[in-house]
Amino acid sequence: MKLLFECGCGMDCSSMTELLLSRAIGVTGQDVMFSSNDTPASEFQLASEMGVLINLDDITHIDFLAANGGIPKTVCLRFNPGGEFLLGNTIMGNPGEAKYGMTREQLSIGVKKLMALGATEFGLHAFLVSNTTDDDYYPALAKKLFKTAVELHEETGANFTFVNLSGGIGIPYRPYEKETDIRYIGEEVRHQYDRIVTPSGLKLRIFTELGRYITGPFGYLVTRAIHKKETHKKYIGVDACAVNLMRPAMYGAYHHITVMGKETDPLTNVYDVVGSLCENNDKFAVDRPLPKTEPGDLLVIHDTGAHGFAMGYNYNGKLRSAEVLLKPDGAAELIRRAETPQDYFSTLDILTLPL
């Protein structure tokens, strides 16, 4: 987080602990956007104390925020246009089924109410598609948000000062998938800005939340094969599990796997690569062609820099692994130690526990 902040990034927070993490490294105020949903009062209160940009998910949160922290001068509203989000004839997403955001009608009502409560500057946010490598998605989203911000300005007189295009720009998890053309995306967003925003007279800043694009390809889960099992299928059991990387189990997501020292060996075997949770979906790969793999081999699971450790949990009493930062000079720094049994038991109401 410190490295990213030093490079000019802000923080996108959705919970109290994420706000506290940001504050702990000295990032507060408008360098932080708080985008939550079903938000507890305590989190609105902390966000208000820190002076961060608050992104309201629900029109009823206006009164709730007024009573729990107060209405700030600058407020962002999260937009859900409903229906299906299309690029041509291709369905990119189905925001009408998503729990997030306000309808177009609610935006108008909400802006007017916030102005009456003292808000003087506004932002607009939407997140409609996740992990797409279609380069036309972001410009299409920008077009929709720019037009909506201009419409709301003309309708209410509200001073919109920024649009948050959120995330959604994906990465190629499979070796043969194309990379996103970020330069093309930027130029097309600029084109939409010049066409829609500039004539309106609004001076909109553009925010993004490209966490996966920035960090995803640069994280790796390194795990050791500890068992090899052959029944109706061939299995490689490793010392990591879904506790360390949940995406394959939760979403059926693909993560490329290589075996250290065997990167150029022929892929002569087909394995399920599995962890030790008491859940049959605890699999990093299913029917994956790999070189001949034996207990003791180190497997590298690629592209785990986003939605990896952060989605970890402690099911079955499993403990989360350490995190190591690899520096440009080749040095490695331990930035998070591995969890211990003492960590796991620390919240139990007991006086002693022999370990």
Could you tell me if 70 and 200 lie in one domain? yes
Could you tell me if 65 and 7 lie in one domain? yes
Could you tell me if 212 and 226 lie in one domain? no
What mean pLDDT comes out for the span 330-351?
Answer: 91
In a domain, 352, yes or no: no
Last residue of a domain, one of 164, 181, 216: 216
What mean pLDDT comes out for the span 321-332?
Answer: 96
Last residue of a domain, one of 194, 216, 238: 216
- In sequence order, what DSSP letters do the residues of 216-282 get, joined into one string? GGG--EEEEEEEEEESSSEEEEES--TTT--HHHHH-----EEETT-TTS---EEEEEE--SSSTT-
In a domain, 347, yes or no: no
At 284 the pLDDT is: 99
The CATH number linked to 312 is 2.40.37.10
What mean pLDDT comes out for the span 210-239?
Answer: 98
Per-residue pLDDT of 303-320, as tens digits, reads 999 999 999 999 999 999
What mean pLDDT comes out for the span 56-68?
Answer: 98
Could you tell me if 101 and 15 lie in one domain? yes
Q: Which domain holds residue 202?
A: 2-216
Per-residue pLDDT of 163-210, as tens digits, reads 999 999 999 999 999 999 999 999 999 999 999 999 999 999 999 999
The CATH number linked to 50 is 3.20.20.10
Per the structure, the count of domains in the chain is: 2
Could you tell me if 278 and 334 lie in one domain? yes
Number of H helices, E strands in the chain: 10, 17
87: pLDDT confidence band, cut at 50, 70 and 90?
Answer: confident
Read off the pTM. Answer: 0.92
> What token pair was written down for 60?
């009823």
Residue appearing with tokens 């820099």: 305
At 352 the pLDDT is: 63
Could you tell me if 241 and 171 lie in one domain? no
Could you tell me if 153 and 48 lie in one domain? yes
Could you tell me if 117 and 255 lie in one domain? no
At 354 the pLDDT is: 63
What mean pLDDT comes out for the span 114-125?
Answer: 99
H-state helical runs in 117-254: 137-156, 182-192, 211-215, 247-251
